[in-house]
């Protein structure tokens, strides 16, 4: 299995190393788990920048984003480009919130492009709404300038901006921002939260058409409707077993395991079905934790047991020989692969069951995003 280690992890690990040494503390050997510049990247990526209006009226939109993240990730895990499975990177921005700096257009980058799905979920759950000015052109331009979109022509580069105020507000022209996106081969997809025709009248449709994106309208206040299936309980039981296959390395690893459990709880807080969707996402190739989990890290070509700081190992491996550690990791890897396969098989049955159920909630965030992604992915030979 090829695993993509992000360069950002190297920088994070280096900063961590310097910080700990400055404080005279013994640091975890996180560099052993970090990406090296020679690590082979995925051939292509789906890059999604999600720009969310967090003004007062957008509580429903944020709720949909929180509750439907894992369904979106799960669906994208089935994407292929030729024989390859593309990587997924998600960036988050909020705009239109009075709590954000006016000098910066009431805009905040929440997280840059990341493959860390637990971190993305954590940041979504931290969002709060407050009244403000919504400058669509400026937040689009900001995301284009700040994010590392790359030059890979095989990448699918998408902006999704959601809100309910006129698209024309602010000092930055949405037309100029859309033209910049088009030049950079980034599609701007606009999601108006309200009446479809009102979105057209307030330039949301034009903002999408200028950059070959899709215009969509949703009812942001529609409560997410879940359909339970006969396979949900089995999948959730497998999630508990899946969590036991993670081998956390150092204090950072323990923090990330705690975050994993927290996001399990957040998903379950919405419904059993949402927790199931998260479990399915965790069993896919898109859920990667190579910077703290020894099982994922062991897939790296230059991973060596001998390079690990023995004091940063979990209790189960303290005092063990290199051969014993290697055998333990191999056992956990085998267990995880088996559990992931069982989850995926159950999910195939779950998907078939859900396809037979009547679904009339087409105007929600998940459905319009998936539809737009699949439509634009065809032009780059992506398939599902």
In tens, the pLDDT along 159-198 reads 999 999 999 999 999 999 999 999 999 999 999 999 999 9
- Domain 45-225+361-383 CATH class label: alpha beta
Mean pLDDT of 116-123: 96
What pLDDT score was predicted for residue 10? Answer: 38
- Strand, coil or helix: what is 61? helix
Q: Which residues contact 11 (CB under 8 A, 6 or more apart)?
A: none
At 224 the pLDDT is 67
Residue 354 has φ and ψ, to the nearest 5°, of -70, -35
- Residue 220's pLDDT is 85
- Residue 122 phi/psi, 5° resolution? -60, -45
The helix/strand/coil state of 377 is helix
What's the Rg (C-alpha) of the chain?
A: 21
Burial class (CB in 10 A: 0-12, 13-18, 19+), 343: buried
Residues 43-48 have a mean pLDDT of 93
Residues near 293 by beta carbon (within 8 Å), at least 6 away in sequence: 246, 247, 248, 249, 253, 256
Per-residue pLDDT band for 42 (boundaries 50, 70, 90) equals low
CB-based contact 86:48 (threshold 8 Å): no
Q: pLDDT digit string (tens) for 294-347?
A: 999 999 988 999 999 999 999 999 999 999 999 999 999 999 999 999 999 999
> Measured between alpha carbons, how far is 254 from 140 in angstroms, rounded to an integer?
36
Read off the pLDDT of residues 223-241 as tens digits, 9 standing for 90 and up: 767 789 999 999 999 999 9
Determine the average pLDDT of the residues in 44-73: 92
> In this predicted structure, what is the pLDDT of residue 43?
83
Distance (Å, rounded) from C-alpha 160 to C-alpha 102?
Answer: 22
Residues 6+ apart with CB under 8 A from 24: none
**Range 147-165 average pLDDT:** 95
Whether residue 214 is predicted with pLDDT greater than 70 in this model: the reply is yes
Rounded to whole angstroms, how far apart are CA atoms 257 and 43?
Answer: 29
42 against 284, higher pLDDT? 284
CA 158 – CA 189 distance, rounded (Å): 7
Determine the average pLDDT of the residues in 76-93: 94
27 has a pLDDT exceeding 60: no
Within the chain, all domains assigned CATH 3.40.50.410 are found at 45-225+361-383
What percent of the chain lies above the pLDDT cut of 70?
Answer: 87
Mean local confidence (pLDDT), 25-43: 45
Instruction: Return mean pLDDT, the chain.
Output: 88
Find out whether 149 and 186 touch, Cβ atoms under 8 Å.
Answer: yes
Query: pLDDT grade, residue 131 (50/70/90)?
Result: confident
Mean pLDDT over 86-113 rounds to: 95
């Amino acid at each position: 299995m090829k695993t993509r280690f992000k360069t950002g992890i190297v920088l994070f690990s280096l900063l961590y190393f310097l910080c700990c040494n400055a404080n005279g503390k013994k640091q975890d050997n996180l560099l052993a788990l970090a990406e090296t510049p020679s690590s082979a990247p995925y051939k292509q990526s789906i890059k999604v920048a999600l720009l969310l209006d967090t003004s007062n009226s957008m509580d429903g939109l944020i709720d949909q984003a929180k509750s439907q993240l894992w369904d979106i990730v799960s669906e994208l895990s089935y994407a292929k480009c030729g024989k390859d499975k593309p990587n997924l990177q998600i960036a988050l921005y909020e705009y239109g919130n009075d709590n954000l700096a006016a000098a910066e257009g009431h805009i905040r980058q929440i997280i840059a492009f990341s493959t860390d799905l637990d971190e993305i979920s954590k940041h979504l759950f931290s969002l709060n709404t407050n009244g403000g000015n919504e400058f669509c052109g400026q937040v689009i331009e900001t995301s284009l300038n700040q994010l590392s979109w790359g030059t890979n022509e095989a990448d699918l580069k998408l902006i999704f901006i959601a809100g309910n105020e006129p698209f024309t507000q602010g000092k930055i022209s949405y037309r100029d921002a859309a033209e910049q996106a088009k030049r950079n081969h980034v599609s701007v997809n606009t999601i108006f939260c309200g009446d479809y025709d009102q979105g057209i009248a307030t330039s949301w449709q034009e903002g999408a058409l200028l950059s070959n994106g899709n215009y969509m309208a949703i009812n942001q206040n529609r409560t997410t409707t879940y359909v339970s299936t006969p396979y949900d309980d089995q999948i959730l039981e497998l999630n508990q077993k899946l969590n036991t296959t993670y081998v956390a390395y150092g204090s950072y690893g323990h923090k990330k395991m705690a975050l994993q459990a927290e996001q399990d709880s957040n998903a379950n807080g919405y419904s059993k079905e949402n927790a199931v969707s998260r479990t399915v996402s965790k069993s896919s190739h898109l859920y990667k934790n190579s910077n703290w989990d020894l099982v994922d890290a062991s897939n790296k070509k230059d991973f060596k047991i001998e390079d690990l700081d023995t004091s940063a190992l979990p209790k189960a491996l303290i005092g063990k020989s290199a051969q014993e550690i290697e055998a333990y990791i191999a056992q956990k890897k085998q267990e995880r692969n088996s559990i992931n396969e069982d989850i995926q098989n159950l999910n195939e049955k779950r998907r078939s069951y859900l396809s037979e159920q009547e679904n009339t909630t087409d105007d929600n965030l998940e459905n319009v995003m998936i539809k737009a992604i699949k439509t634009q992915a065809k032009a780059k030979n992506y398939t599902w």
